[in-house]
Amino acid sequence: MSFDTQTAEPVTLRPGKIIALHLNYPSRIAQRGRVPAQPSYFLKPTTSASASGSPIERPAGTELLAFEGEVALVIGRLTRRVTPEQGWDAISAITAANDFGAYDLRYADKGSNLRSKGGDGFTPLGPALIPAERVRPDSIRIRTWVNGELVQDDTTADLVFPFGQLVADLSQLMTLEPGDVILTGTPAGSSVVVPGDVVEVEVDAPTAPGAPTTGRLVTPVVEGTTPLGSFGARPKIDDIQRAEAWGSAEAAGLTGPASILTDELKAKINSVGTATLSSQLRKRGLNNVSIDGLASTHPDRRLVGLARTLRFIPNREDLFETHGGGYNAQKRAFDSLGRDDVLVIDARGERGTGTVGDILALRAQVAGAAGIVTDGGIRDIVAVTALDIPTYHAGPHPAVLGRRHVPWDVDLTIACGGAAIQPGDVIVGDADGVLVIPPAIIREVVDAAIEQEREETFIAEMVATGESVDGLYPLNPAWRARYEEWLNR
């Protein structure tokens, strides 16, 4: 390994370890909607390291190669069991890094990122090192350009996990050796690049004496020509991965058609109770459209949205081994939620374990979802109740998912609380319960419910004056004539 700490000459780094952090910058955390309680990491192979100017090959058959400009810490001495206050002293230099990843292979990694981020050239480093003693760890700037356009621009002033803490945390369990590299997270702005693009990353300290800089770390993107063999995981993507790789559903072109739940329709739905809606559904032959046996974390708050679905199957140890860990169906479902979505969970009425906890409920809230409905238990009941998002559930339970369930699949017809739910069904909830309304008849049902409540307001007024309900409830022709006069007034 060679170090050049004074000029922007190319620097060759072949670390013994490359350790990468998942989330650190508040701007990126806001995008992801997940607030980490503690730092979490993954390893990248040393063969993924490359120098400025070296091209990165987008693997043949993949679509979602994403860049992540980062500050890389270079360990300068043997480090074991230091405190966060001592952690920065173990760093000899910083440099620019680009943590590339192929989201098409993310599903195969179970959270390790080995295939998706471990390819040759997937960790460009350089081109120059800035000595750690020349900068303050909270005054470093990171910028990224794609084809000359600035797409990432942030500083280390407000990191969730300061650099010294990262070194201390890692050194609790492993010896950090000279030359090891720690990638410290990326800010908002990470997105997809294609062959022909050029990505540049620069780390500098503009307020430090001499304004030291790494210079620009340049990585041209080229197309791979050797397809991945059938003896390993092949590229596979869905809309969730597209949104994650591009940075948002909008950037990925996944906004789709406008929701049927216009502001006007939602206002109409919210003007009538579920009891009235249930009556109108019954008149149309729909008797089995209530999700029964649930309580709400916010019974005083209305729930109106469109169903997204998640299905759990009974726990079986070998199936939980293959489907319960990593980026499983449960996590994919919560990550894919958006405005007006209500995640409805088929837990088979099993109350003996949690099906959602505070982190996933927070993820749904940050994503703008309208609510969560599960016929199973929920964990962290106090924390979930403290969130704004209404959550309907069968009761609290402290146990984790794997006790009774395996997260299996998403966005298909399910059962929940005795009702059948399809993706796109209209979900309406209040203190009386939760209803499932076929979207094709929602306007008809709501308009009829509004008229029914007008009639019932008139009937209530008449009863309050001492009138008998005979002939009044429901309205006979004579009373209907009086009702029409009341309406005109």
Q: Which domains does the chain have, with CATH numbers?
A: 18-246 (3.90.850.10), 288-437 (3.50.30.40)
pLDDT at 11: 56
Distance CA 216, CA 210 (A): 17
Closest CA to 90 of 23, 176, 149, 9: 176
User: Residue 60, Cβ neighbours under 10 Å: how many?
Assistant: 12
Distance CA 109, CA 7 (A): 38
Q: Do residues 36 and 143 touch, judged by C-beta distance below 8 A?
A: no
Residue-level pLDDT, tens digit, the chain, 489 residues = 344 444 444 455 678 999 999 999 998 988 776 678 899 999 999 999 999 999 999 999 999 999 999 999 999 999 999 999 999 999 999 999 999 999 999 888 877 899 999 999 999 999 999 999 999 999 999 999 999 999 999 999 999 999 999 999 999 999 999 999 999 999 999 999 999 999 999 999 999 999 999 999 999 999 998 988 889 888 888 877 888 889 887 788 776 556 788 889 999 999 999 999 999 999 999 999 999 999 999 999 999 999 999 999 999 999 998 888 878 889 989 988 888 999 999 999 999 999 999 999 999 998 889 999 999 999 999 999 999 999 999 999 998 878 899 999 998 999 999 999 999 999 999 999 999 999 999 999 999 999 898 888 888 988 999 989 888 888 888 888 888 888 887
Distance CA 406, CA 394 (A): 18
Name residue 415's amino acid: A
For the question of whether the overall pTM of this predicted structure is more than 0.85, the answer is no
Distance CA 325, CA 187 (A): 26
Looking up tokens 């990925």 gives 252
Angle of the 274-283 helix axis to the 442-464 helix axis, nearest 10: 110
pLDDT at 322: 84
pLDDT at 50: 95
DSSP symbol at 225: E
pLDDT at 2: 42
Q: Strand 141-146's sheet: what is its strand order?
A: 56-60, 217-227, 198-204, 141-146, 149-155
Do you find a cis peptide bond into 127, omega within 30 degrees of 0?
yes
- Give rounded-to-5 percent helix, strand, coil for the chain: 30, 30, 45
DSSP symbol at 422: -
Strands 303-314 and 341-346, by their bridges, are parallel
The two three-digit tokens of residue 364, written as one number:
């749904």
Distance CA 430, CA 136 (A): 53
User: Residue 51, Cβ neighbours under 10 Å: how many?
Assistant: 17
Strand partners for 303: 429
Name residue 416's amino acid: C
Name residue 424's amino acid: G
What's phi and psi for 125, nearest 5 deg?
Answer: -135, 145
**Cα-to-chain-centroid distance, residue 84:** 29
Separation of first and last alpha carbons in the chain: 89
pLDDT at 258: 62
Residues 6+ apart with CB under 8 A from 220: 53, 55, 56, 197, 198
Closest CA to 55 of 178, 215, 225: 225
**Cα-to-chain-centroid distance, residue 25:** 15
Q: How many residues does the chain have?
A: 489
**Cα-to-chain-centroid distance, residue 332:** 8
Q: Strand 123-131's sheet: what is its strand order?
A: 41-44, 18-21, 181-183, 69-75, 91-98, 123-131, 49-50
Backbone φ/ψ region at 199: left (φ over 0), alpha (ψ -120 to 50), beta: beta
